[in-house]
Amino acid sequence: MLQLPSSELVLAPGHAVEWRVHASAARTTAPGGTAGSGVPVPSRPLPSYNQEYHFGASVPPVGGAEEQGRSASRRTDSYAGTFEIRGGLDRPALEAALLHCVRRHAALRCVFRPSPGGLVIEVAAPEDVKLEPVDHGPVASPAEARTHAERFLRTTDTYGGPWFVMGAMVREESTTVHFACDHLVTDGTSVMIVLNDIAAAYEAFASGREPDLPLAGNFADHSRAERQRTESVRADDSGLDHWRGFVARNGGPFPRFPLDLGIEPGTGGPARNTTDTLLDGSGAAALEARCREAGASVATGVLTAVGVSMRKLGGPDVHRALVPVGTRGRGRHAHSVGWFVNILPVEFPVSEGAGFARTVAAARDASTRMIRGGRVPFVVVLRLLAPEHYARPWPHAVNFFSYMDFRDAPGAARHADREAGVYTSVPATNGMFLWLHRTHDGIHLNTVHVDNSRARRTEAALVATLARTLEGMAHHGTL
């Protein structure tokens, strides 16, 4: 399973059905309130720092800033997932599986709205949630199916909802189940959790069984704990030492993307999204062996390769980047849906002639320092150390690196059998973002960058250089 551009979500023609989440009653009220029955209910949950920042509720409601916030929100960054059901569809089983998933994960039952005091969340109780089906009828041709998929992917809306939609293209011999999640309620791992939960629940219900899935904690509990843990953090807190040093050396919290994208700082435009394979399965295994010999992980090796490749193309001798790091852990949130990510800074030397072992070791040590010094949420760091950037779009093209091993995702062993797919939709950007991921078939790069001729040339050069660098590391232990 690859992480692909949403433009590559291809549905074969069939009969199109869509489902949206509907709460028949709202039981979550303001703190100290009661439900309609008069029974006390828990206080209204607070958004996570990521949700608050992404939603833009803190943008001052004045002039251009307000319009800027609205414009950013309408980009509607989202994820989508698909899998195949072979043979005739058991529609009641599929509807039961979809409802089971929504009731299982509180993040998929949320409604978001701005208020004078910030972003407000309302969460429907599981028993109050129903699905509203919409029958779109027969889709007769590939062109109509393409149009239907494009419309479906544009359905989610960060500001107005819906934030989670589900659908199916039904045929006599097979069905493609598809869903889309606004980034406000999900991260990359969560998409794979949703995919596996729906597929596993369908298989269970279609066989007359109840789904047997691991317990999934409530994302709101995670957000509350995150806020409680950091509410007393101040700008001089020792927990910000790593960030303070990075900001001082970098000249700010946002490391610049070091290659030419043909844009001026503060500007951007429509995004181009592509996925390329950098190493095949045997190459990925060889890279893993080399990295282990150097006392490092594959993630560290890939990070090293990115830094070295950028230096080869004219970038600096010290690689600085922002890295998303998962915060869900392996406990009760290991199978939860939500936005369990913190963003941390990493920096290490990539000097020419340093050699494989020395450079990988530097990246490994830098990654260790990053994790140890990155316990404060990124949004809190901005508020305390760089308030001029808080609740604003990122000021320039930022060097952003992500790595995930899809083989560790729930249901990964069934990805091929289910013909599973994950898709990203980022309509606009002001830079270039690198999402590297490993599957059973190799290591791949999903790139999103501003769409102009200069950026396309830069992206092509980076992909080619990165592939050659990884090949050299994997098979020869060279950079």
Mind listing the pLDDT tens digit for each residue in 198-221? Answer: 999 999 999 999 999 999 999 999
Q: Is the confidence at residue 321, as pLDDT, over 70?
A: yes
Phi, psi (deg, nearest 5) at residue 82: -140, 155
Q: Answer yes or no: is pLDDT of 328 > 50.
A: yes
Higher pLDDT: 37 or 423? It is 423
Report percent pLDDT > 90 for the chain: 85
State the average pLDDT over residues 289-315: 98
* Cβ proximity of 418 and 81 under 8 Å: no
Determine the Cα–Cα distance for residues 176 and 170; give it in Å rounded to an integer: 7
| Residue 38 pLDDT level (bands cut at 50, 70, 90) | very low
Scored b (16 or more CB within 10 A) or e, 185-199 reads bbbbbbbbbbbbbbb
**pLDDT score recorded for residue 75:** 54
- Give percent of the chain with pLDDT exceeding 70: 92
Judged by DSSP in three states, 48 sits in: coil
Q: What is the pLDDT of residues 69-127, one digit of tens each?
A: 344 434 579 999 999 999 999 999 999 999 999 999 999 999 998 888 888 999 999 99
Least confident of 3-7, 118-122, 471-475: 118-122
Q: Residue 57: its pLDDT value, please?
A: 39
Q: What confidence score (pLDDT) does residue 146 get?
A: 95
Beta partners for 14? 139
Lowest mean pLDDT among 48-57, 196-205, 239-248, 391-400: 48-57
Q: Would you say 177 and 18 are in contact if contact means Cβ atoms under 8 Å apart?
A: no
* CB count in 10 Å sphere of residue 297: 18
Whether 350 and 359 have beta carbons less than 8 Å apart is answered as yes
Kindly tell me if the per-residue pLDDT of 475 is higher than 60: yes
Determine the pLDDT at residue 266: 79
Q: Is the pLDDT of residue 61 over 60?
A: no
Confidence of residue 170 (pLDDT cuts 50, 70, 90): very high
Q: At 65, is the pLDDT very low, low, confident or very high (cuts 50, 70, 90)?
A: very low
Within 409-452, residue ranges assigned H as helices are 415-418
- How would you class 90 by CB atoms within 10 Å of its CB: exposed for 0-12, middle for 13-18, buried for 19 or more? middle
Q: Rounded to an integer, what distance in angstroms lies between the CA atom of residue 57 and that of residue 66? A: 10
Are 3-220 and 234-476 the same fold in CATH? yes
pLDDT band at 40 (very low <50, low <70, confident <90, very high): very low
Q: Which amino acid is at 303?
A: L
pLDDT of residue 114: 87
Q: What is the pLDDT of residue 237?
A: 95
Run of H or E residues at 224: helix 219-230
Model pLDDT for residues 440-458, shown as the tens digit of each residue:
999 999 999 999 999 999 9
3-state secondary structure of 320: strand
**Mean local confidence (pLDDT), 40-56:** 78
Name the average pLDDT for the chain: 91
Provide the pLDDT confidence category of residue 36 given band limits of 50, 70 and 90.
very low
Which amino acid makes up residue 25?
A: A
17 pLDDT band (50/70/90 cuts)? very high
C-alpha dist (Å) from residue 182 to 86, 154, 157, 206, 402: 28, 10, 7, 29, 19
What is the token pair recorded at 340?
A: 């369990």
Chain segment 332-343, per-residue pLDDT in tens: 999 999 999 999
**Mean pLDDT across 130-142:** 96
234-476 CATH, one of 1.10.490.10, 3.50.50.60, 3.30.559.30, 3.40.190.290: 3.30.559.30
Mean pLDDT of 424-429: 93
For residue 453, give the H/E element and its range.
helix 453-476
| Domain assignments of the chain as residue spans, ordered by start | 3-220, 234-476
What pLDDT score was predicted for residue 141?
Answer: 97
CATH architecture classification, 3-220 = 2-Layer Sandwich (3.30)
Residue 445's DSSP bridge partners are 276, 436
CB 185 within 8 A of CB 341: no
By DSSP bridging, strand 432-439 and strand 400-405 are parallel
Residue 230 has pLDDT above 90, yes or no: yes
Amino acid at 177: V
Query: Is pLDDT above 50 for 29?
Result: no
Average pLDDT over residues 181-205: 97
Give the residue from 374, 365, 350 showing the smallest Cα distance to 295. 365
Q: What is the pLDDT of residue 267?
A: 87
Is the model's pTM score more than 0.85?
yes
pLDDT of residue 393: 83
Q: Helix (H, G, I), strand (E, B), or coil: what is residue 16?
A: strand
Q: Is the pLDDT of residue 20 over 80?
A: yes
What is the tens place of the pLDDT at every residue in 244-272? 999 999 999 999 999 999 998 878 899 99
Q: What is the DSSP string of 342-366?
A: EEEEEEEE--TTS-HHHHHHHHHHH
Residue 356: what residue type? F
Q: What is the pLDDT of residue 43?
A: 59
